[in-house]
Amino acid sequence: MTGWYDTWTLTSVTNVPAASALIAVSRQDWADTTAFRLPTGRGVEAGKIVDYTPPAPPVPLTTQATSALTAAASSTWANYGAMGVAVPQTWIAYQKALKVIADGTDTTSTALPAEPAV
């Protein structure tokens, strides 16, 4: 957890981490609330305050399935339907599995099924 403490203004440092766990900042950096002392976007690496962008939240499985289903439909059409070739059962099963994840019917899957070989 990263937080800012202005220990000069505190009447007690009882709830502040030990000094060994803190990183001192210059008066100039402390006064810079537009570029340095931000509520977010800062982190600690190797004992120094650095810019930090947290990772994006994970994409929900239903959203992943919706995207994969769109791609699968396009691929199936390009490789089979547009050429008048019967779609292999593996591709039909794959798309059905994606569809039930995408529409929320399948609530037990934790990952998308593997895409069949073309």
What is the spatial distance between Cα 6 and Cα 13, in angstroms, rounded to a whole number? 10
What is the spatial distance between Cα 87 and Cα 80, in angstroms, rounded to a whole number? 6
Average pLDDT of the chain to the nearest whole number: 90
Q: What is the Rg, in whole angstroms, of the alpha carbon atoms belonging to the chain?
A: 26
pLDDT tens digits, 20-37: 889 999 999 999 988 898
Task: Check residue 4 and give its pLDDT.
Answer: 86
pLDDT tens digits, 48-78: 899 888 888 899 999 999 999 999 999 999 9
Asked whether the whole model's pTM tops 0.95, one would answer no
